[in-house]
Structure 1
Amino acid sequence: MKQKWFWGVVIAIELILFYSSSMTYKEQTSVPFLEKILGTNKPLYSSLSKISFRYGGKTQSIENDGYFHFLEFFIRKGAHFSIYFLLGLFLCLAVYKYFSKNKFLMMFIPWLATTGLAAFDEFHQGLTGGRTPSVTDVILDSVGALTGILVLMLILWLIELHANKNKS
């Protein structure tokens, strides 16, 4: 029964991703919301203004993008990482019973599948107006999925270790 629930979560996440990548940037941007909520306060401006780095071939900084777009960048990339973290974790749980005797496949198959889904999602995003597909985002998504899978494997290992300790 749990397997069906895990598959349901995987499908729900995929539907959310598909819907999200169907939206134009203008439909999806959080900049107006951030401007409204934060107004002229701009918390952490002095600290954030010292940060500058390259991502996807572009320099990301307050100087280049402006304060609210720079904040939005972190929100969007955090969402990428987080949603694929959850997708990797729940896909690993969904296939658990199929690969319970082979830990490598239990991790590798969900990681490979989430990376493929991330690539497909970026391709789909490229078909949407005002959006650009990014290999760098696929890598970020893949790392998010792998992190979710590794965290789950650590938790399962600790549970197994605890269960074996109680048996002795």
Structure 2
Amino acid sequence: MHNKLKNKTKWFWGAVIAIELILFYSSSMTYKQQTSVPFLERTLGHSNKPFYNGLSKVSFNYGGKTQSVENDGYYHFVEFFIRKGAHFSIYFLLGLFLCLAVYKYFSRNKFLMMLIPWLATTGLAAFDEFHQGLTGGRTPSVSDVILDSIGALTGILILMLVLWLIEQHHKKDKL
């Protein structure tokens, strides 16, 4: 198991670099270039608004702004969930692949194997938000850095759980 992961280190680093390139490209785009609202309007039409009744009852604060269908409109509110889901997911993958990439170096120290990728992804999230702030029509958000950091930590913790379960399974097979 250990050797299989260590032999794939270059692939894991490749995935980390690919994700970072995607993030850099994405944060270079203006909101107008990146918005999915026109797509949602075309695809769903103005009369078809799935889950409208449930979503119209949802309201919460994110980044100092109240998010709701009433404040943002249906399509912008749906887009908010898509965008935040993308934040969480991409950093989930980044944390996971970065943890796998450093496995070779920290396989004996599980704490460092989790801490270093988590700190690195959090730093990359902060840099990405800074870069986004240099792009027209975009605003950096500490709330997004926190969301990204939680996504990365979730990916790392799930990976560590899976590795631990595999390790326990191998120990049972040896007995």
TM-score by length of 1: 0.99
Alignment of 1:116 onto 2:130: no
In structure 1, what is the Cα distance between the partners aligned to 2:17 and 2:85? 21
Gaps spanning 5+ residues in structure 2: where? 1-6
In structure 2, what is the Cα distance between the partners aligned to 1:156 and 1:43? 39
Provide the aligned length of Structure 1 versus Structure 2: 168
User: Which residue, out of 33, 37, 41, partners 2:39?
Assistant: 33
How far 1:122 sits from its partner (Å)? 0.1
Letter in 2 for 1:66: G
Q: Percent identity?
A: 85
How far 1:71 sits from its partner (Å)? 0.1
1:70 is aligned to 77
1:22 is aligned to 28
User: Which residue, out of 153, 157, 168, partners 1:161?
Assistant: 168
Gaps spanning 5+ residues in structure 1: where? none
How far 1:93 sits from its partner (Å)? 0.1
1:80 is aligned to 87
1:47 is aligned to 54
What is the alpha-carbon root mean square deviation over aligned residues?
A: 0.4
| Displacement over 4 Å in runs of 4+ | none
TM-score by length of 2: 0.96
Q: What CA deviation, in whole Å up to 9, does each residue of 1:96-152 have, x standing for no partner? A: 010000000000000000000000000000000000000000000000000000000
In structure 1, what is the Cα distance between the partners aligned to 2:50 and 2:166? 41
